[in-house]
């Protein structure tokens, strides 16, 4: 969806009263209109004009998968240059409607356990392409009288490497005239881009921060996550400490559980020491298997023991319940491809 300011500029350039831009914005975000034809508030000539010069969506659906339980919907979108991205709607039992959105086409981080990184990197998304993923699901939910209430930047791409556009999108999501989603209901996840974390402290201190950690030491982390070669743990943890001290907000550390690699009792102890006395929460993520050689998920008993060790060391911890595994919509499975299900 193009910005309200741009709609107003288009109106002025075409001799249209500026209040029409407000009507269009309201029709899209508050009434769930997906086309100008459905905006009865506009006269026919303006519906035709705006249809030609100001498309509502910058993305178009070319594939949709719905999980057997019905709580997860994954959509494959095509962009103007035929690039493809994916986004996921997760409907939780507690009533939350969360959209996991992409910020890049592919991902340059190449983490060893993630399908998105294996697909390569093509380009950054614009903030319109980012917000339109959520707008699609907002209008999808509008049919049932529901709305999106949480946004997570955990889809394809590294948000901190498309920082400016992600920040613009965060502000659109927060705009009362648009999505009206509070900053505290938005989460930015990073693989550990230190400059981005430091910027977020200044630009959006109320937004939640999630850090993909996945290893408690640099030796293992460098094997799993190439970003660790640029931003080693001591730099990353210093940035995280600064974040908590200045924002007074808790960081979520994401830790994917990989059998025989990062799930031992020793690793749990190292992680406990690394995070001791920090304002944090650890989210243990059972690895969602995606046919990557040598990568298998930890057994449930191993994950439970790992969580127990963190707990007795006073590190808050939960084990994530992954939604949408049957449609390749769970953490680490997005790859810009689609299989009808």
Which residues are identified as catalytic?
86, 331
DSSP state, residue 336: S
Tokens of 157: 């791409």
Q: What CA–CA distance (Å, rounded) separates 227 from 206? A: 25
Phi (first) and psi of residue 81, to 5 degrees: -100, 15
Vertex 253: Cα angle to 167 and 166 (nearest 5)? 10
Secondary structure element (H or E) that encloses residue 74, with its range:
strand 72-78
Cα 22 from chain centre: 28
Tokens of 327: 């449609």
Q: What CA–CA distance (Å, rounded) separates 151 from 341? A: 24
Q: What CA–CA distance (Å, rounded) separates 301 from 43? A: 64
């Amino acid at each position: 969806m193009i910005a309200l300011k741009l709609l107003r500029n288009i109106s002025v350039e075409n001799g249209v009263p500026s209040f029409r831009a407000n009507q269009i914005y309201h029709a899209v975000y508050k009434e769930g209109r997906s086309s100008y034809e459905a905006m009865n508030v506009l006269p026919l000539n303006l519906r035709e004009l705006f249809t030609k010069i100001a498309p509502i969506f910058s993305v178009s659906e070319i594939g949709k998968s719905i999980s057997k339980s019905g709580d997860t919907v994954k959509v494959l979108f095509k962009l103007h240059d035929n690039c493809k991205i994916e986004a996921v709607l997760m409907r939780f039992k507690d009533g939350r409607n969360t959209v996991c959105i992409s910020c890049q086409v592919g991902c340059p981080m190449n983490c060893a356990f993630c399908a998105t990184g294996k697909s390569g990197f093509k380009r950054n998304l614009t903030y319109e392409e980012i917000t339109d993923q959520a707008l699609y699901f907002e209008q999808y939910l509008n049919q049932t009288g529901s709305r999106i209430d949480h946004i997570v930047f955990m889809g394809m791409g590294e948000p901190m490497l498309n920082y400016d556009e992600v920040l613009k999108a965060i502000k659109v999501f927060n705009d009362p005239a648009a999505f009206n989603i509070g900053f505290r209901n938005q989460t930015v996840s990073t693989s550990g881009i230190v400059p981005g974390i430091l910027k977020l402290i200044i630009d959006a201190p109320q937004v939640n921060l999630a850090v993909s950690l996945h290893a408690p030491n640099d030796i293992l982390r460098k094997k799993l996550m190439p970003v660790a070669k640029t931003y080693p743990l001591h730099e990353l943890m210093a940035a995280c400490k600064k974040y908590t001290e200045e924002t007074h907000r808790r960081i979520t550390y994401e830790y994917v559980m990989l059998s025989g690699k990062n799930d031992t009792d020793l690793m749990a102890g190292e992680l406990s020491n690394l995070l001791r006395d920090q304002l944090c929460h650890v989210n243990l993520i059972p690895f969602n298997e995606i046919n990557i050689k040598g990568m298998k998920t930890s057994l449930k008993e191993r994950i439970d023991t790992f969580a127990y060790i963190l707990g007795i060391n006073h590190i808050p911890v939960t084990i994530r319940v992954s939604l949408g595994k049957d449609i390749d919509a769970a953490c680490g499975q997005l790859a810009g491809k689609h299989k009808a299900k």
